[in-house]
Amino acid sequence: MTALAPDTPWDPSQPILEIEHLSISFFTRMREIPAVMDFSCTVMAGEAMGLVGESGCGKSTVALGVMRELGKNGRIVKGSIKFKGRDLAQMSDEELRHIRGSEIAMIYQEPMASLNPAMKVGAQLAEVPMLHSGMSKDEAWKLARQIVADVRLPDPDRIINAYPHQLSGGQQQRIVIAMALMAKPALLILDEPTTALDVTVEAGIVDLVKELGEKYGTSMLFISHNLGLVMDVCDRICVMYSGEAVETGNVVEVFDEMRHPYTQALFRSIPLPGADKNARPLISIPGNFPLPHERPPGCNFGPRCDYFQKGRCDAADVPMFPVPGSDRHETRCLRWQEIDWEAPPAKREIKQKAEIGRVVLKMEDLRKYYSVSGGAFGGGMKKVVKANETLSFEAREGETLAIVGESGCGKSTFAKVLMGLETATSGSIMLFDENVQSTPIQKRNTDTVSQVQMVFQNPFDTLNPSMSVGRQIIRALEIFNYGKSDAERHERMLELLDLVKLPRAFAERMPRQLSGGQKQRVGIARAFAGGAKVVVADEPVSALDVSVQAAVTDLLMDIQRENKTTLLFISHDLSIVRYLSDRVMVMYLGHVVEMGTTDQVFSPPYHPYTEALLSAVPIADTKVIRKRIVLEGDIPSAMNPPPGCPFQTRCRWKSQVPGGLCEREVPPVQVLEGGHQIKCHLSRDILAQMEPVIKIAAE
């Protein structure tokens, strides 16, 4: 990068990135849609800036705007983006090309999709220095190998010669990070880099990003919807709402002394330790996110704000106000000095604990094995994948049983077996005193099918793309024989839309016109259409925004209270599990490693895996002190599980068990007091000595 160096040398005390009054619009045939309005932020050298907000708030647009990658319809209509003092908005394509990848690099949300499937990893990495510094191919490959080792991937020689599909999700993301680091950029833009990954893998990636940021002095623009993650990684934060920055400042200041109603509402809607679904329920933000072309006059957050004053907040556009005596803390609220920020939320309604009734679902010794062919050419040895191994539990009416574990632990297989999409290899499933273990879904009667429903993990694939939203819900109602007439079903469909907080007008929309969160709500509406008794929610909120998560979990809880639904909540997000579940079951590689009430599982003694899982979850509370346990490596393949205890390859307590027992024998289930079950070889003494992972610092 010598040829195109700026004329004036850049002064490192000046900001690396300075965005001033940036407005970005997308132009369609109908109208101009403003995506980002009057956005300003400054990133200093070595600083990490977090960009937080719900989907559609424009945070990704800002990132892509910095890269000037706005597609055919997008355009910067106002303001400037100064990178090292030069305005990116004014640069020619050729100048821009030299900055992209070499000075500003980007890390993306879905690592699999952002790597070229037909090119070797090494070639994709080596391309960067070959392009930008004219490095020879051999040298570039050598550098690639070194950076791959730098991002702590095992066996770098094998990995640079592999194709992306041969790596796991965590490894792919490390490759994307390596690719971004190849040219030692001054600014790194991370667009939800860990959203697609498991928590324990996420923890590793976050540590890596932080460490590399310190090592190379790279500035970061970190986009995320996860406030806890932002607190872990960033120095500064910028909260966005509906295309505008509403509050910006030092992370600790914003977290502890927020000065914008939206930030406050956001924090009240996430499940922090101490929240409880009955005594201290989450407060979801009322109303809906305004569509980009239907924004209200004045403050965008006005219509959903508790502190809204008619005639004042909706009079004119609100500028940013600096908060005096702070570290560049600003807020876009007219009334920030009048609001009592310490006042407890007014309308927290305390809800009745749902009564837990009779046993509805009982599984005993359930096993599900798959056999797959082992050879590359179809022949070879048949291998057995043990997706579920001796699963036994009961779920009662009105109870929430959380099933926790990372991808590949067998939790989705379990759901499929329960739904009847697969039949179990052995064991029994008793549903309302009826054994459904070997009844596939085609042979179940309508009653059983409508009683056991599922909310699926991926909202993008579960809706028929060529059927309107309303039609799909009505279709479910028809199948479940609900209502007498079309009009009645139509009415019920609209009610269901209200229930999941979607505007009624959405009934006419096609799934492609909805955001991921909105699609998921349609999925939930569909699942509850037939008055389900047992609902399996397979990661129902993992794809949703925080405030939406609160609304959806509340919705699930409300319906549960009303209908005494048994909720099997499959999730990897322990914060939400702690908030809403009565009992928790932790799974690892097909085994249930720990089971007990929520309090039992979330406090010591832990199973070593639960301990690591708990420590990996980012918590958006400055007062919480977490022990950091980062697991090495990936989850072993279920095709080739380790001998003995499934967790022994990553367990940090292994040395405490004498005689290498962990490598030889599957541990027995130890039943501690109160029916708390742990599948571990550790002696009770050692288990009793375990310290809590999460501590709340004394105030």
Partner 1 sequence: MGLFVLRRLGVMLLTAIALTFVVFYLTNLQPNLEKLARTEGSVRMTEEAVQDWIAQNGHSGSIFMRYGQWLGVVPGWTYTDEKGQMRGRCFEIGQDPTAAPTYCGLLQGNWGYSTFFKTPVMDSLGEKLAATGWLMLAVMLVMVPTSLLLGVLSGMREGSATDRTLSTFSIASTATPEYVSGVVLVALFATAATGISPLLAEYGLIEPKKTLFLASATSAMDDITFWNFALPVMTIALYGIGYIARMTRASMTEVMTQQYIRTARLKGVPFRTVVMRHALRNALIAPFTVIMLQFPWLLNGVVIVESLFNYKGFGWTLVQAASNNDIPLLLACSVVAVVVVLLTQLISDIGYVFLNPRIRLA
Closest CB 146 distance from partner 1, rounded Å:
18
* Residue (126 or 469) nearer to partner 1, CB: 126
Q: Which of 14, 28, 116, 337 binds partner 1 (CB under 8 A)?
A: 116
Q: Does 264 bind partner 1 (CB under 8 A)?
A: no
Closest CB 116 distance from partner 1, rounded Å:
4
Q: Does 147 bind partner 1 (CB under 8 A)?
A: no
Closest CB 109 distance from partner 1, rounded Å:
9
* Residue (115 or 614) nearer to partner 1, CB: 115
Q: Does 498 bind partner 1 (CB under 8 A)?
A: no
* Residue (106 or 586) nearer to partner 1, CB: 106
Mark residues 353-382: x for contact with partner 1 by CB under 8 A, - for none: --------------------x--xxxx---
396 Cα distance to chain centroid? 29
Residues 205 and 169: beta-carbon distance below 8 Å? no
Residues 510 and 465: beta-carbon distance below 8 Å? yes
Q: Which of 163, 267, 307, 321 binds partner 1 (CB under 8 A)?
A: 163
Cis bond upstream, residue 281 (ω within 30): no
Distances in whole angstroms, Cα of residue 220 to Cα of each of 13, 19, 363, 616: 16, 14, 48, 22
Q: Does 314 bind partner 1 (CB under 8 A)?
A: no
* Residue (379 or 674) nearer to partner 1, CB: 379
**Which two tokens mark 616?**
């990996």
What single string gives the DSSP state of each residue in 348-389?
Answer: ----PPPPP-SEEEEEEEEEEEEEEE-STTS-S-EEEEEEEE
Closest CB 195 distance from partner 1, rounded Å:
14
Closest CB 84 distance from partner 1, rounded Å:
16
- SS3 percent helix, strand, coil of the chain, rounded to 5, is 35, 25, 45
Q: Which of 43, 67, 385, 525 binds partner 1 (CB under 8 A)?
A: 67
Q: Does 688 bind partner 1 (CB under 8 A)?
A: no
* Contact range with partner 1 by CB under 8 A, out of 97-105, 258-266, 363-371, 689-697: 97-105
Residues of this chain, 272-301, that bind partner 1 according to CB under 8 A: none
* Residue (147 or 589) nearer to partner 1, CB: 147
Binding footprint of partner 1, residue count (CB under 8 A) = 33
* Contact range with partner 1 by CB under 8 A, out of 6-14, 105-113, 522-530, 652-660: 105-113
Q: Which of 20, 110, 257, 276 binds partner 1 (CB under 8 A)?
A: 110
Contacts of 625 (CB under 8 A, 6+ apart): 694, 695, 696, 697
* Contact range with partner 1 by CB under 8 A, out of 114-122, 230-238, 327-335, 652-660: 114-122
- Residue that is written with structure tokens 């009683």 in the block: 451
Ordered strands of the 187-191 beta sheet: 104-107, 187-191, 219-224, 48-52, 236-241, 244-250, 330-331, 321-322
* Contact range with partner 1 by CB under 8 A, out of 96-104, 225-233, 460-468, 484-492: 96-104
Q: Does 142 bind partner 1 (CB under 8 A)?
A: no
For residues 96-111, b (16+ Cβ closer than 10 Å) or e, as one string? eebbbbbbbbbbbbbb
- CA 175 to CA 114: how far, in whole Å? 10
Tell me how crowded residue 353 is: count the other CB atoms within 10 A of its CB: 13
Q: Does 637 bind partner 1 (CB under 8 A)?
A: no
Q: Does 98 bind partner 1 (CB under 8 A)?
A: yes
Per-residue DSSP letter, 276 = B
Q: Does 134 bind partner 1 (CB under 8 A)?
A: no
Report the half-sphere exposure of 256 (CA within 13 A, side-chain side).
Answer: 9
Q: Which of 77, 131, 252, 666 binds partner 1 (CB under 8 A)?
A: 131
- CA 67 to CA 74: how far, in whole Å? 12
**Which two tokens mark 60?**
């990704």
Closest CB 166 distance from partner 1, rounded Å:
8
Distances in whole angstroms, Cα of residue 666 to Cα of each of 581, 601, 633: 28, 21, 21
Q: Does 91 bind partner 1 (CB under 8 A)?
A: no
Q: Does 681 bind partner 1 (CB under 8 A)?
A: no
Q: Which of 14, 31, 90, 119 binds partner 1 (CB under 8 A)?
A: 119
For residue 480, give the 3-state DSSP assignment. Answer: coil
Q: Which of 84, 100, 519, 572 binds partner 1 (CB under 8 A)?
A: 100
Residues 186 and 16: beta-carbon distance below 8 Å? yes
- CA 393 to CA 454: how far, in whole Å? 19
Q: Does 383 bind partner 1 (CB under 8 A)?
A: no
Q: Does 218 bind partner 1 (CB under 8 A)?
A: no
Beta partners for residue 107, in sequence order = 190
CA angle at 169 for the pair 164 and 175, rounded to the nearest 5° = 55
**Which two tokens mark 687?**
């288990």
Q: Does 99 bind partner 1 (CB under 8 A)?
A: yes
Q: Does 465 bind partner 1 (CB under 8 A)?
A: no
Please report, as a single letter, which amino acid is at residue 486.
D
Residues 160 and 145: beta-carbon distance below 8 Å? yes
CA angle at 319 for the pair 317 and 325, rounded to the nearest 5° = 155
* Contact range with partner 1 by CB under 8 A, out of 99-107, 332-340, 457-465, 499-507: 99-107
Ordered strands of the 583-588 beta sheet: 452-455, 534-538, 566-571, 400-404, 583-588, 591-597, 677-679, 669-671
Q: Does 639 bind partner 1 (CB under 8 A)?
A: no
Residues 83 and 102: beta-carbon distance below 8 Å? no
* Contact range with partner 1 by CB under 8 A, out of 117-125, 137-145, 302-310, 489-497: 117-125
Q: Does 460 bind partner 1 (CB under 8 A)?
A: no
* Residue (116 or 464) nearer to partner 1, CB: 116
Closest CB 283 distance from partner 1, rounded Å:
36
* Residue (160 or 593) nearer to partner 1, CB: 160
* Contact range with partner 1 by CB under 8 A, out of 53-61, 91-99, 142-150, 628-636: 91-99
* Residue (383 or 475) nearer to partner 1, CB: 383
Q: Does 658 bind partner 1 (CB under 8 A)?
A: no
Per-residue DSSP letter, 671 = E
Per-residue DSSP letter, 441 = G
Closest CB 88 distance from partner 1, rounded Å:
13
Q: Which of 84, 132, 329, 679 binds partner 1 (CB under 8 A)?
A: 132
* Residue (100 or 368) nearer to partner 1, CB: 100
Length of the chain: 699
Closest CB 183 distance from partner 1, rounded Å:
8
Would you say the C-alpha torsion 492, 493, 498, 501 has a positive or negative sign?
positive
* Residue (22 or 179) nearer to partner 1, CB: 179
Q: Which of 24, 37, 81, 179 binds partner 1 (CB under 8 A)?
A: 179
- Name the E strands within 156-258: 187-191, 219-224, 236-241, 244-250
Give the binding site for partner 1 (CB under 8 A). 67, 69, 72, 97-102, 105-106, 108, 110, 113-119, 127-128, 131-132, 163, 165, 176, 179, 373, 376-379
